[in-house]
Chains A and B, each alone.
Chain A
Amino acid sequence: MSDSQISYANLDYIENSLSALNSGVSHLTDQVSSVNLDLYEVRTNLEQLIQEFQEYVKKDLLGKNLQLAETRIVKVRQEIESDFGHYGEVRRRVTGILQAVDVGLVKKETVANASEEHMLSSPRYWLAPCLISLSAWLSNNKELADKSMMEALRRDSEKTALFFTLVTRRGGRYQASSEWLNHYLGLQNPEELEREIVVMIDGFTNGIFGPDARSKCGQQIESWITELSQKVGFVEEQNAQWKVALESKIEEQDIDMYPYLADYSPTWEKLKSSLEGAKLHENIHDYFEDIFSQEVSPSKTIAFAVDAMLDTLITKFDEEELPLRKEERLLSLIIEQSGNEGHAQTLFNNEKSLEERVSFTQLLTNFAMQPEISNASLTTQKFSIAWSKEWIKNAHDDITADNRASVPSEIAIEIKQWNGVTETGENEEELVKSLERHVDREKKLLFSEVKFKGAHYIGMIATIMFIYMGFSTPILLFLAIFSAGYVYLGYKEMQKRKAKISQIAKEQFENDKILLRATLAEVVDWRQEYAKEDANASKVSDLLEAVNPEQYSFSRYGNARAILS
């Protein structure tokens, strides 16, 4: 009686305990399994999230920079207008007076009075005494003309000399024009030229000057280049200068073309910059070809041509405005670069078009590559490229060699924890096998974590003990069945987990295989595209080879015939 009571009470208690233990262990196992199996997914998601967040921050910053630059550029332009707007009136008078005298519609007194007023309203401005001198000259007042001319020379001798070179040429005074040009050239140092020299070069290349002046200009340019080229390190300096100028034509590669390489190759940055470098050949070729294919449309008369150059001289090169002009340029570059301040600053530093004084060869580079900022005409641009063609070719050859050396021979691929290397994308089968081995290894690693827990081992020992003791106490055989059942459940759970791991590993392999194949396809296409773009390098040399500097200096408005010796 007492035996049956004890066994009834014990069985109930053990059954409940086993059930609770089993459910607790199962729950725990499920959790561990879930944590282990989702580990990769969590890591991948986290990496993706970090990347997206960084992209968002970057975009936000660029957007703000862009907005700020757009607002600031308006303010800078307003500042230029408010600070130097009154110069505009003086500037307009210059061509106004010359054109009025051409048609003879304005009285000399009116011209004289109007000019003197501006002298009062524009202190320190070099053009105001030039205007008085011009009106005095037109009114045959030599004394006033000389006096005001001296004042103008005192304020800015170089601009004044260039101004009168053009004005006298406009009036057909060849001797005076030649003397003024001599005076201007005498003031120049080829290593430190002012930006307005573009007007003189424009005059030379567009055939504005008379035969004597044109010949002097040609000789002067040659002697400057000879003088500069005798300097130690000139060739290296030219190469470096042109390399910077040519590299400014690099366009950022569209990452959409190779999305898998961008995501799964640690070598992507190198590939990207190599391809951008190779595409530069086509960009440079197109840029030069476009310049040389454009036709130069000359002005109707010498008066129109000189007036246009006078406009440029008096509006674009005043030092007082330079700080604001520089700021305006930097802001416009930030806008062009969609808010990328760093890139805009680098481009601005490389441009050197707004430097106060630069060497003649740097000027040629500026005329060739940034004609809008350096105010060079199309003819001057052609002339500059023609004169610099050897330097351009050398710099281009250097860029090509550097770019070819930077092409990675091996392209690394990284898909989650797997790494592989390819050269041309041909070893697809080998890499797929390597990926399969990697997934297998990971699977085995996870399998090794799937094993009986301590409770299961206790269950096994208990089963054996209960069976052994069950021979003497048969009731214990029931306990042996329960503990064996518990061990069996554990075993089934292990099988289930292993099957789940196998399923996940299979899916992972299939997904990663797709990514690998897509990346390899992009490697093949990348190599093809690079080879195609790189082959364009010779096009640039061929184009420049055909250019001759003598072709690009004209004598359009002169009557004298140019004699070729």
Chain B
Amino acid sequence: MTPPTTYSQWLDCLQSIKSETTDEEIMLSMELGSIEWTPGVAERFVQKIYETMEVRLKIASDQFQTGLNRSGNDETLLVTAILLMRKRLAYLMRLASLPALPEEVRDALKKILMEFADTAQKSLEESAKTDRTGQSKVTIRNNPITDFHKMERTYGNSMPKKIQTPLKVELESKEMGLSKRRRVIWK
């Protein structure tokens, strides 16, 4: 996909992000995109970025809530919901860090994300107080939502990935000294 350079192209990208279609591809092109930061365009563009962020945060929040409701007392499901939320926030962090945006805008967007994550974490910890075993609280503390920025680059990557073919995998494995032998588990 061609990196966006005009307001119209950027809006198409943001629309795709709002509707959660082809997330990674769009983000990669946006990270390479640029825009003329001029009066009349800048205000509108910032407004659209905020709107996109708001829509995605709402979706993330709703889906997190659904995940929590489904988890019940299951620790694995709870952790899965938290990890999914972190993934979504990490994606939005990439949106907030787009090189096409001026630093002030990037900082403001990042602040919104951090505040959102803080609030969600506090709210989770608060609700975990009702669990008398204390297990939920420990799980939530060990997997805080606020750590989403640490996994920023684990979800997608702005650099194009190497194309992996079966032949390449075999060659790489040989280089690393791995043979194609079957692993036997001794009991």
The answer to whether A and B come from one shared complex is: yes
- Could you tell me how many residues of chain A have their Cβ less than 8 Å away from some Cβ of chain B? 18
Say how far A511's CB is from chain B's closest CB, in angstroms.
10
Indicate whether A519 reaches chain B with its CB closer than 8 angstroms.
yes
Say how far A532's CB is from chain B's closest CB, in angstroms.
12
Q: A524-B11, A525-B44 in contact; A518/B6 too (CB < 8 A)?
A: no
Q: Which 10 A-B pairs have the closest CB atoms?
A: A518-B40, A428-B6, A521-B7, A514-B38, A426-B8, A521-B41, A524-B8, A425-B8, A521-B44, A517-B41
Indicate whether A305 reaches chain B with its CB closer than 8 angstroms.
no
Do residues B8 and A428 form an inter-chain contact, with CB atoms below 8 A? yes
What are 7 A-B contacts with C-beta separation under 8 Å?
A260-B40, A428-B6, A513-B36, A515-B40, A518-B40, A521-B41, A522-B40
Indicate whether A424 reaches chain B with its CB closer than 8 angstroms.
yes
Do residues A520 and B7 form an inter-chain contact, with CB atoms below 8 A? yes
Counting chain B residues whose Cβ lies within 8 A of the other chain, the interface size class is 10 to 19
Indicate whether B134 reaches chain A with its CB closer than 8 angstroms.
no
Say how far B46's CB is from chain A's closest CB, in angstroms.
12
What residues on A are CB-neighbors of B44 within 8 Å?
521-522, 525
The residue among A425, A517, A522, A525 with the most chain B CB atoms within 10 A of its own CB is A517
What residues on A are CB-neighbors of B11 within 8 Å?
524, 528
User: In the bound complex, how far is the Cα of B7 from the Cα of A524, in angstroms?
Assistant: 8
What residues on A are CB-neighbors of B38 within 8 Å?
513-514, 517-518
- Per-position binary interface string of chain A over residues 252-269, scored 1 when its CB falls under 8 Å from any chain B CB and 0 otherwise: 000000001000000000
A428 contact from B7, B40, B45, Cβ within 8 A: B7
Indicate whether A550 reaches chain B with its CB closer than 8 angstroms.
no
- Per-position binary interface string of chain B over residues 1-43, scored 1 when its CB falls under 8 Å from any chain A CB and 0 otherwise: 0000111110100000000000000000000000010111100
Closest to A525 in B: B44
User: In the bound complex, how far is the Cα of B36 from the Cα of A514, in angstroms?
Assistant: 9
User: In the bound complex, how far is the Cα of B39 from the Cα of A112, in angstroms?
Assistant: 80
- Per-position binary interface string of chain B over residues 79-122, scored 1 when its CB falls under 8 Å from any chain A CB and 0 otherwise: 00000000000000000000000000000000000000000000
Q: A260-B40, A522-B40, A525-B44 in contact; A517/B8 too (CB < 8 A)?
A: no
Indicate whether A429 reaches chain B with its CB closer than 8 angstroms.
yes
User: In the bound complex, how far is the Cα of B8 from the Cα of A521, in angstroms?
Assistant: 7
User: In the bound complex, how far is the Cα of B38 from the Cα of A171, in angstroms?
Assistant: 77
Say how far A428's CB is from chain B's closest CB, in angstroms.
4
B7 contact from A425, A513, A514, Cβ within 8 A: A425
